[in-house]
Chain A
Amino acid sequence: MSLNLKIALAGEGGQGVQSVAEIITEAAYQAGFQALYIPNFGVEQRGGVSVAFVQVSSEPVSAPKFTTGDIVVALSHRAVERVRQYVGEKTLLVYEAGLEDDVRQVYGERQRRLAVPALAIAQEEMHPRVFNVIILGVLVGVTGFLERRDVEQALERQFGHKFAQDPDLRELNYRALERGYEIGRENL
């Protein structure tokens, strides 16, 4: 299967954008793809919009950053504006559903888009901390190149030590992944 996928993710520090990028590239690498992930980073240790650039391909990845993403994820008010430069005509914009007005204002009506009520799901059905895992699930579902098992293994590598202390946490993460995955599949 020939694949060349570029995803930019942006959110506030603490929203877990970098973890999502790390897990998805790690899972892609373990599944035999070429993968490259680079965080943006500046002089501030905290604050500022956190952006992650992810590329997954059947061929070796060229430049670490890219001009236009196939998928661009915006998870905060500031992120919606920040990622504008990576959004092209064909880009699928994935965003937290609560940011509908911001998205409409910056991108108008025409942009390909997928609103994910991740905040509401996390708060009402699960736990605020799995907000980013729902987004991860959406990306896995909507791209379709990874098996859920690949992602679960990557989650285990990342959070295994925490899961070992609190098995409920594993169940919670898997449930969030599943929920996001279903939303993604519906929009594949």
Chain B
Amino acid sequence: MAIAAQPQMPRVWRAETKPHKFCPGCGHGIVLKALGEAIDALDIQERTIFGCDIGCSLLSWDFFNLDTVQTHHGRTTPVLVGIKRARPELVVVSYMGDGGAYAIGAQHLVSSASRNDLVTIIVVNNTVYAMTGGQMAPTTLPGQKTETTPYGRDARLTGRPILGPELVAAIAPPGAYVARGSIANIVQLKNFIQKGLQNQLEGRGIAFIEALSSCPTNWHTNAAATWRFVEKEMTAYFPVGELRTPEEKPSGRFQEVPPYES
């Protein structure tokens, strides 16, 4: 009997903890696969520390053959910044959802971006708080129904979805790498993540990659509708591509001045 061809998995993939714990149709597995491939490509498994947040991202705590720490909601970046400052030879990856990055942990994101911390941040944007049951997130699209916006998100009352990479691109000093990828284009996403890790390896600055992802469980969508939401609705609001390469200056108001001598 012919054995069905197994998909090629990254070397850092930990077989003992598979199948993984994410829901069917969840985008996390794809993003993590892209990350795994990028780590393989750069051959940094031995010195990479993976940090995951609260929310669905925490289910990745035993995902890789990587030293891993699962932290608190929104606090993954400060923990990894703490590790990096103490042991600069390590490569640190801060992995979280949009709630952790843009709501409860926003001050850490802004501050790490301003400091150009040598950390690679990956934010999985699925437009909802998924683990808690599908509430409105900072990234919920206008009109989108969630458990706390049952009649659709009213932007007049709850604001418009936050543009994370645009925010980081506006404020991070030169040397930063910022991109938005999507589970709809895994090759491109892997490429972005790899560049983000490379940026840290070269000591240039912060790397921030948002990955557009899916949550059929909380979206209450079938496969076709899920895919359509990611590719059409989300991509329309959250444009995919590189926002900052290390040579570029911040997209926000920025003026290079010599250090003040007191």
Task: Check whether chain A touches chain B (CB < 8 angstroms).
Answer: no
> B-side interface residues toward A, CB under 8 Å?
none
